Homo-oligomer: A and B are copies of this chain.
Amino acid sequence: MNHAVQGFLAAGIAAGIKKNGELDLGLLVSERPAVAAGVFTKNRVTASCVRLDRERLAASGTCRAIIVNSGNANCCTGEDGMNDAVAMAKAAAGDLGIDEESVLVASTGVIGQKLPVEKVEAAVPGLTRMLSAEEGFDAFARAIMTTDTVPKVVARKGEIGGIAYTITGIAKGAGMIRPDMATMLCFVATDIGIGQDDLGRIVAGANEKSFNRITIDGDTSTNDTLLVLANGMSGAEVRTHDDRAAFSETLETVLVELARMCVRDGEGATKLVKISVVNAASRADARRIADTVANSNLVKTAFFGQDANWGRIIAAMGRAGAEFDPERVDLYFDDVLLVENGRYAGQAAENAATEVLRQPEFVVRIDLKAGTEEEIAWTCDFSIDYVKINADYRS
């Protein structure tokens, strides 16, 4: 698949931050200053790079390059943390011959250990030499992975007034995933032209419908970052309400697909499950229920066991703090109605539901019959491998 976007180059290299010698340093560059928008973790504990990016975005609203390391979160590292984040940006800027303030930084990996910034500095010249318009995106995607098992790149094309533009998004994240206003790491390059305010609003909205609707394990990272760069080099320009709507929809498609890829690749996950809550009294109620069911360990272990244990779903709904009448709830696994008006539909329905649970992907639909609002959440199952991966993560 061609992931190229006009005026963008990318690369990935092994800088020696990861112990296993895998790619761990990525660089994304725009040939000219790109309008930039970001969404960051709401966690009170934030990595230095998150604070640096917030400052730089607020100051200029544009960006020339993003440098990302995996293997070390550079979080809870005191004054060293900010110095090292600044040094990462400076190393990239020096080699690219651009203003260091125009470089943004992201990190992911273990919290609380000093970033070996000298490894980053030593690797930057080799990294910039490898910059390319096509294969570079795949190398970049691999270079930002931690416990991910597959790189995650999605590209989509759109057009405005007959002029085509491209959006290419790259994400990582398989654990510590319950984004709160943002996500693990996601970087999006587009050659559309757009104003900064428009981009900010559209990115926030698309994030809300994608990364803020997924969970793997209920934990929110200190480093969650979504950055979108728009360099205008396609010639397609967002000017009208319809342009904004069309670009917003295309961006949302890219982010939703990346978000789903993250959940499908969730640590130890064997199943991707969409929790769909319909006919709720309010959107907030629908969201509370979708999120609580999606985060319930008992629901997720039942998915792993391919057990249509609907009682656990109902019990999780009951603690969500939402208004509903348990005796009106209908519950479907794909099209199989297993619970009708709060009552079990019988063994035949259960057998059919169990078949649905054997699939790698299915939908749990919860009809509250309490109103007209709806919301979704994507989650995965909770497997023995999740525990193994996370018991041994640092060793």
A324 proximal to B (CB < 8 A): yes
Give Cα A343 to B79, complex, Å. 10
CB contact under 8 A between A298 and B76, given known A221-B315, A383-B387, A393-B305: no
Contacts of A309 in B (CB 8 A): 393-394
A388 proximal to B (CB < 8 A): yes
CB contact under 8 A between A78 and B387, given known A298-B217, A318-B43: no
A235 proximal to B (CB < 8 A): no
Q: How many residues on chain A are close to B (CB under 8 Å)?
A: 65
CB contact under 8 A between A113 and B344, given known A75-B311, A176-B298: yes
A112 proximal to B (CB < 8 A): yes
A362 proximal to B (CB < 8 A): no
**Contact (Cβ within 8 A) B311 A390:** no
- A385 CB to closest chain B CB, in angstroms? 9
A218 CB contact (under 8 Å) in B44, B296, B317: B296
**Contact (Cβ within 8 A) B314 A45:** yes
Closest residue to A338 on the B side, CB-wise?
A: B112
Contacts of A44 in B (CB 8 A): 317-320, 322, 324, 326
Give Cα A112 to B338, complex, Å. 11
Q: Which of A376-395 contact B (CB under 8 A)?
A: 382-384, 386-388, 390-395
A311 CB contact (under 8 Å) in B110, B382, B386: B110
A312 proximal to B (CB < 8 A): yes
**Contact (Cβ within 8 A) A318 B222:** yes
Contacts of A395 in B (CB 8 A): 305, 307
Q: Which of A313-357 contact B (CB under 8 A)?
A: 314-320, 322, 324, 326-327, 339, 341-344
Contacts of A344 in B (CB 8 A): 76-77, 112-113
**Contact (Cβ within 8 A) A311 B391:** no
CB contact under 8 A between A319 and B219, given known A298-B175, A326-B44: yes
6 A-B pairs in the complex with CB atoms less than 8 angstroms apart: A112-B310, A218-B295, A221-B315, A302-B393, A305-B393, A305-B395
Which residues of A approach B to under 8 Å, CB–CB? 42-46, 73, 75-78, 110-113, 175-176, 178, 180, 217-222, 295-298, 301-302, 304-305, 307, 309-312, 314-320, 322, 324, 326-327, 339, 341-344, 382-384, 386-388, 390-395
